[in-house]
Each structure stands twice: as C-alpha cells, then as structure tokens.
Amino acid sequence: MKKILAIMLAVLMVFAICSCGKKEETQTNGDTNETVVDNNDAQPADDGEDAQPADDGDDAGETDEESGTLVMATNAFFKPYEYYEGEEIVGIDAEIAAEIAKKLGKELVIEDMEFSSIITAVQEGSVDFGMAGMTVTDERKESVNFSSSYANGVQSIIVKEDSPITTVDDLFGDAVYKIGVQLGTTGDIYASDDFGAENVIQYSKGNEAVLALVGGSIDCVIIDNEPAKALVAENEGLKILETSYADEDYAICVAKENTELLDQINVAIDELTAEGVIDAIVAKYIK
C-alpha cells in the first residue's frame, strides 16, 4: 500500500513539474511584450497560478510540442523569394519554409513586416524564425544565429537604360550619385559604408526605390539580383549592370537561445537538399 502511494505521489509530482515548465514557455509569447521566465520561483501546478495567458491565436515563440505552428517573419515584397499572390504570400522562401514546417510536424504561419524589424522580432521571440532572402553577415550574427545557407544572393545595381553609370566602378569614381536601397538590407549597409550615408536613400520596399529611380530622383538602386530582375521586368527603361556589387549567402535566422529549433531547421534543410526539394522549388521560381 505504501509503495503504491509513493508511486502515485511521484507521478503527481512529475505532472506538477511538467505543467510548470510549460507555463513558463507559453508566457514568453504573445503581443504583450511580456517575458516571464523565472525558473527560481517555479511552483507546483496546483497553486492557482497556472492560468495560461489568453490565447490570441498567435503561437509565436512556442517551439515546444505544445505549439502546432511555426511562425516565420518575412518582408513579402521580394520576388521571387516572398511576395503576394492575392492575399497569399508565396515564393521560394515561403515554399521552403512550408517544407521545413512539414518536417517538424507544424503548420507554417507567415508574418509580413518591415525587413528592418525581422531580427528584432526573432530576438524578442514574437516569431520563431526569420526568412527573407536574408544575407548572413558577421554583424547580424551578433544578434541571431543563422542556419546553413539554402541559396546564394548577389547585390546588383539597377540603372536607367541611358544612365552614365555603366559599371560598379563608376559608383566609386569622382561623380556623386544618389543610391536607393531597401532600409536595413545589406545593399543599404554596404552602400552607406562605401558611398556615405548622405548619398544613400532608404526606402521601406525595394519597389519604392525603383519607382524613385524611374521618377528621376535617384541615380541607381542596389538590391538583390533576383528581385532586381523582377523589378526591371515590371518597369520600362531600366537595366541591371552586368558587374555585381557583392556576393552573399541567404539563411534562416533564429534566436540565439533557440538552438533546438536551429538544429531542427538545419536537419530539415539537409534532408530537403538531399531530396532535391530545394532545387525543385528554386527551379520553379527562377527559370
């Protein structure tokens, strides 16, 4: 009898500890910006403090078995990696992310935001990861971890067809040019370094920079090559310089402390690469 009682007690204690752990993880999410993780005053579940925060349907930050969703932050004005088709966000990143989520047994939720907000959202845990044709840089690595790279990127320069700028070297010459970029991108960072922030005009979206170029208020746009091709195809009188400005690797970013998710994503990327899935998705969007 004593033995049975002891076993029952042990089982109860395990339950109490488990529900306590879950409570803390779920409280790190939500729109409240509230982060409650204090393992020191973990209490058993029956202390009346185990109420869960109201479920706002946003499972970001929960990457444990409890959450059925995986929340991705992106900036969906970056064809062919992420862009709107009607209400839906499609593209290479969206499809690869959906395949990764499938492997992890989760449903993918995509949150569209300013490109320059993605890393902060990942750090704060309001989303699980960032995927936005995002270039791996040493500076970003100080804030987030990056997965293995799933694609290469090239920074290209868009000019008007009759532009005096004919090669990248022209930008480094004596003439001063106004350069359009998307805020917070590597194009922005590198151009500000090379040509001075006063000559770099930051736009919220790449297509806004291209519209300014068409309108004549800037002389060129520095942006990733595939989006550049899409933008040139959509606007008359523009061309991409043959010489590129920088070569880069794209990867998924995850919060520093979330090494478990990073490992899972890397395994998924390896498998998807071996299965030919990533190549097939890229081939679908880049002819």
Residues at the contact surface with ligand ARG, assessed by CB under 6 A = 74-75, 77-78, 82, 115, 132-135, 153, 182, 185-186, 224
What is the closest distance, in whole angstroms, from the C-beta atom of residue 140 to ligand ARG in the complex?
Answer: 8
Nearer to ligand ARG, 45 or 77 (CB): 77
Query: Which of residues 74 and 258 has its CB atom nearest to ligand ARG in the complex?
Result: 74
Residues 13 and 7: their CA atoms lie apart, in Å, by 10
**117 versus 135: smaller Cβ distance to ligand ARG:** 135
Q: Which residues of 218-249 are buried (b: 16+ CB within 10 A; e: fewer)?
A: bbbbbbbbbbbbbbbeeeeebebbeeebbebe
DSSP state of 175: S
Is residue 84 within a helix (H) or strand (E), and if so which, with residue range?
strand 82-85
**Rounded least distance, CB 87 to ligand ARG, Å:** 18
Smallest separation (angstroms) from ligand ARG to the CB of 17:
42
Comparison of 65 and 138: residue with beta carbon closer to ligand ARG: 138
The nearest distance, CB 158 to ligand ARG, in angstroms, is: 14
- Burial class of residue 78 in the structure, from the number of CB atoms within 10 Å of its CB (0-12 exposed, 13-18 middle, 19+ buried): buried
Q: Quick one: DSSP state of residue 219?
A: S
3-state secondary structure of 112: strand
Residue where the block lists tokens 């070569």: 247
Compute the least distance from the CB of residue 60 to ligand ARG, in Å.
18
Question: Got the DSSP string for 11-31?
Answer: HHHHHHHHHHHHHHHHTT-ST
Give whichever of 37 and 233 is closer to ligand ARG, judged by the CB atom: 233
